[in-house]
Structures are given as structure tokens and as C-alpha cells.
Structure 1
Amino acid sequence: MALEKDLLQDTQKVGYTGDSDVKLAVVNDHVEEFASVEKGITILPMFMAVKEFPWVKEKMWSLIAKNKDEYTQLAANEESLSGYFIHVAKGVKSSKPIQTCLFINMEKFVQTVHNIVVLEEDAEIYLFTGCATAHYVKTASHIGITEIFLSPGSKLNYTMIHEWADNVEVRPRTAISVAENAQFISNYISLKAVKHLQSMPTAYLRGQKASVSFNSLIYAPEGAYYDTGARIVFEAPQTHGEVISRSVTHGGTVIARGDLVAQAEDVKGHVECDSLLLSDGGLIQAIPVLETKVANVSLTHEAAVGKIAQEELLYLMSRGLSESEAKAMIVKGFLDVDTFRLPSHLRPRVDQVLKLLEQGGL
């Protein structure tokens, strides 16, 4: 199976090229294509996975409660099996990114998917997910349930890029169980308008020396509404977690959250929110929450919200740049994706979006 050319042109905008040895694309409510030819890595449509591996059904809804909110209830009632299942065998380390895509090409469609990812002991992969609507779709909804299970010593580097239409509502619900010495790295990028996006993944650090890092880059033009963040629950000692967000608003709303909950001693957690407000009419809120009933912990936060520094702007203009060019350069530097270790095929797309921001007269 392969995506049609017109679909592929849209999915490539969020990095899904379809050239990976391990890939799966969901279009609306059905799996359009999937392939798994790398030894030790299995990727299947969820409806096939629950038949082939009965234990997968037990994993579903074990980290996220069906009655968590109205969106999880809707997903549970739909009993959607159109998502993906990924299993990585013990000790397997993939050299290439696994590609997945959640795509909507039908006007006013409500997409519900349920994804399960399981890494066995000492396994390591780079998982990339691109989520988008077709260029001709204006209104739609997406509800994505994702539950991730990391066994001792495993590592998952997970990058997600969103590119929705202006009138799309998005409700991802994600939870991660992180065992001893396991590591979870999450990179989230969204640089376009969306009607309303609400996302607050929760990581449970359940084994000693487990660690998690949530990183996000968001640009909110006029009309966009982003309510994003992450929650880390430190259930075991000697665990570490951080929530790092960078956002820019040009008339849109950005709410940046970071919740740290310490339930064990000798844990370290940090929340960092940096935001730029480029024009009046936008809104930025940084909301850190630090919670502990244990004395021997270190939970910290820092936030910086404001406009572009005038001295930086004047310096660049003194070097021959116009005011809009200077602002664009500062914003592009602020939204630096180098630390995200993006696949090489994806970096040109991110650069293209940043170029469009510049042409829009920041």
C-alpha cells in the first residue's frame, strides 16, 4: 500500500515522506499504508494488533482513564482501532526514524485514534509523527489517545509536528510509563494557526534513574489558541524530568503549562517557559505547578514573557537590516530547532515555515 501522490504532497509538509522501512499512515479513520521490514520492530494498524497480540487490549486505557474528560469518553465510545501499534524487541536499536502520520482529508471529519507504543528492555528508537489536514480542508477535529510503555534501559526520542487548518480543534491525550534507567524525549513543534489545541501529556517515572524531557516550539498567529504543557509524576527516587517551552504569539493565545509532582525522595524537576509577544492583542500565560509532600526533592521553575528586546532590535538594524527583517531574525533564533535533532528531510520544511513568517512581516 502507498499514499496517493496528492496525499503525499500534503503529508510531506509535516515530514511524512513514506520512504521509511517502518511506517504507518492513518487517513481519516482508516490506515492508508503501513510497512515493517526492520528486524525486531513491529508496526501494525491497531485493529490488526489486538487480533495478533491479545495482550495489546490490556494495554489500552491502562495509562489513561476512559472517563478522564469528554474527549477520552468520546474516543472510548467510538472504540477506535484506527491508530497504530509499535513494538520494539529487547536490545533493538533502530538506525532510521520510524514514520507515522495522522491525516484528515475530509471536511468536518472527527478523527479518533488510539496508539500504543511498547519498547522492551534496552530498545531504542526515533519515532516521528506528523499530523495535518489536507490543504483544502478548513474544519475538522482530532482526538488522539497515545499510551507509551518504556521498559528498563530503553530510550524513545519522539518528535511530533502539527500543521492543522485554521478551524481545526485538536485534543491529544498522551501518557508515558518510564521504567528504571529508561529515557523519554518529547519534541513538539507547531508553527501554524489552529482553532483550539489542548495537550497535556503525563509521564510517570516509575523506576530509579528514569528520565523525561518535554520540549515544545509554538508560533501562534492571530486566531490561534494553544493550551499546551506536560505533567511529570516522580514515583521513584533518583529520577529527573524537565518541561521546556518556547512560544511566540502574533495575535494568538499561548498557555504554557508545566506540572511537577514529587512522590519520592531525591528527584529533580525543572519547568522553563520563554515567550515572545510580538503584537498587542495576543495573550501569553506561563503556568508552572510544583507539588511535593516529600522533603528531599529539587523542583524549580523559571519563566520569561515579554516583547523583543529593543537593544537587540536596534543592533541588528544598525547592521543594515530593516525592522521587519531584524524581528524575523530574532524570532527564528528564538524558535531554534537544532536541539530537536530533526530528521534531515524535515529541516527544510521547518526552515520554509520560518521563511513564511518572515515574509508575513513580523
Structure 2
Amino acid sequence: MTSTAQATAATDMVQLLTPDGELLSEGEYSPYLAEVDAERLRGFYRDMALTRRFDQEATALQRQGQLALWVPLRGQEAAQIGSGRATEARDYIFPTYREHGVALTRDVDFPQMLRIFRGISNGGWDPRENNFHMYTMVLAAQMPHATGYAMGIQRDQAGWDTERLAAEGTAVVAYFGDGSSSEGETHESMVFAASNQAPVVFFCQNNQWAISVPFEVQSRVPLAQRAAGYGFPGIRVDGNDILAVYAVTRWALEHARRGGGPVLIEAQTYRMSAHTTADDPTKYRTPVDEEPWVLKDPLIRLEKYLRAQGLVDDAFFAQLAVDGDEMAARVRREALAFPAPTLAQSFENVYAEAHPLIREELEFHRRYEAGFADADAMTADQQQGESR
């Protein structure tokens, strides 16, 4: 990336595929699309469609009382699939609580993602298997974790030359939203990352709303411009353009892995649904506000391009609909079959190693439960005696 591009990237929005499905002429990031063949393009669409179908099913489960809460992502599929598919398996990802599409790209099984929302687990998957961290429910708490992890990677790779870093180096991606950009942890993480030239890509999904607070109240300038204050590149990208998101993220990850330091990506997208299922967006926005973004739907945009290029037909979409329904049925079936953990099992997840106080509290809990068992036995004996 040239110095001129660095100077303009924070204000100019990168777009490679228009809302009408037209591929724009070559630009700064177009070379990264050379590796995106027809099969991968169809895969991009499939990922987005399955993610949206999963989101619909999870929302239905919550409305039916089967999940305590759900965090929808409709409208943000391109930002998530494009960036997720740009990573390498060795890269490590720190999500917030909405990165269901990114989780798909890291082979996290959809039903397992519902464990935490069903209230039966602190997570649902082993982050070491997929290099995909647990969901973070506390706003921006994942940001210092991501920077610290990246600094650890940097120390592990100390002494590697540029060629080896490019081939074997690891980068970290920290996902956050425009609301989290106002948190102190985000600022502090970027200061530390810049000071240490840590290999971390800060990926902001600017979906225009921090619950009910519109973006223009949070910042008077594009968030990508903040990167200049920390001393690293900031890029604005059309977050509903999966090709642009993929290309920009590929560049940023290579930059970080080679020792170039952090990058901030601001993906301009829109949350088409509620912040969570506990939210009512009709209280703070109208259909008129949403209408321009409906026309920018990431799935429709890519579908237009695929059809225009003759890369898909009606049979492709028909089969995908069948696959989506089958996936949704499996998600529902497996989620409802999750065994409820006992309270005693919760003690196992407090500390990595046994702790005297936890052992003492567990023993108290066991005696407490045993008291109910004795009472139940006495009641049974009494009932049996009365029946004689």
C-alpha cells in the first residue's frame, strides 16, 4: 500500500462490487481478488445465506422461550464472511457476541454457539480447536485481550525474517462495533498495539447503531480516521461488499504478519434487525431509515453479480434453500437436546486449577443437596406407611 493510499484510505471508502452487482475497475486492493474463483464466490454466497438462515432460526428459538437471549446479525453477513474467509487457520480471532458468520468460517458448529445463549454454558466450544475465542458479552473487553495475545505472538516470533513471517507468521483479528469504539478499552488497546507494533487487525463493524444511539452521536468523523492518531493505517470499506471486505482484510493481515504493525478497518454496514431480542428498534428508527440499506443487502448484491456472470442458476438457490432448512432443523434438534448441567458442574469452570475455597463451597453444596434427598426419602416413607 503506497503512502498516498495510506493518506486517503481513512476517508475514501473502498468498494469493488456496487449494490447493482457490477464489479468496478481495478483498484488498490483488486489483486487480492485474483485468488477468488467461481467456486469461492459461490462459497461466499452459501456462507452468507446459511448464516442468515441460522440467525432466523436462533431468533425463532428465543421467541419460543428456548434461548435466554439472541443477538441478530442480519445485514452484516458480508462484513463477517468476507473478513473471516480472509484469515488463515493459524490466525487467532477475538469476537464480540455477534460474529456468528465469522464463527462459521472458523468451523465452529452452529448448535454449539447456542449453548451460551441457552444459559447452559460459559462458552460452547474449545477456542484452541479453531483459534476462535469465546464470545465476549462485556463491551470491548476482548480488545485488550486481543492486543495482549498479539504482543505474545510477536515475542514468540522475535528474530524471524520477513520471508518467514509472511509464510508462517500469525496475526490477530479483534472484532468490535461502533458502540465499543467509544469504550476506553478500545483506545488503550490501540495505544498498546501501536507502541509495540503488534500484529493485530482491529475490525470494526460500524452498523450505525450502538443499541439506540446513532453513529453520528458517537463520532463526527469516520472511525477509520482515528488510526492516524495512533500511527497506523486506517481503512474504510463498504461492509456490504464481500469482495472489498475480503480484499482489504487480506491486505491488512499480510501487513500485520510481516511486522508492519496494527491496522484499523471500519466496515460500513447496517444492523437490519434488533440489537438483541431484548431490543425494540422501532422505538428509535423508522422503515424510512432502513430503506436505503435494504437496497444494499449483501446477499442480493452478490447474487446479482453471480447471475450476471453465469456462475449460478435457479437450481443453485433452490438447493441452498433446502440445505438451509435442513441445517436449521438440525440446529433446533441439537439445541433442544442439550443436557442441562448440574450446579455442581458449574464449580468446575471457576478456576483452571482446584482452589480451596471452591472445594469448600462445593462440599457445602453437596451437603445441602443431600439434605433434600433425606427429606424426600422421609416423605416417601411416610406416604408408604399411610397407604398400608
Shorter-chain TM-score range: under 0.3
Q: Which has the larger radius of gyration?
A: 2
RCO comparison, higher one (Cα < 8 Å, 6+)? 2
More helix by share: 2
Quick check: which one's strand share is greater? 1
TM-score, normalising length from structure 1?
Answer: 0.25
Give TM-score scaled by structure 2 length.
0.24
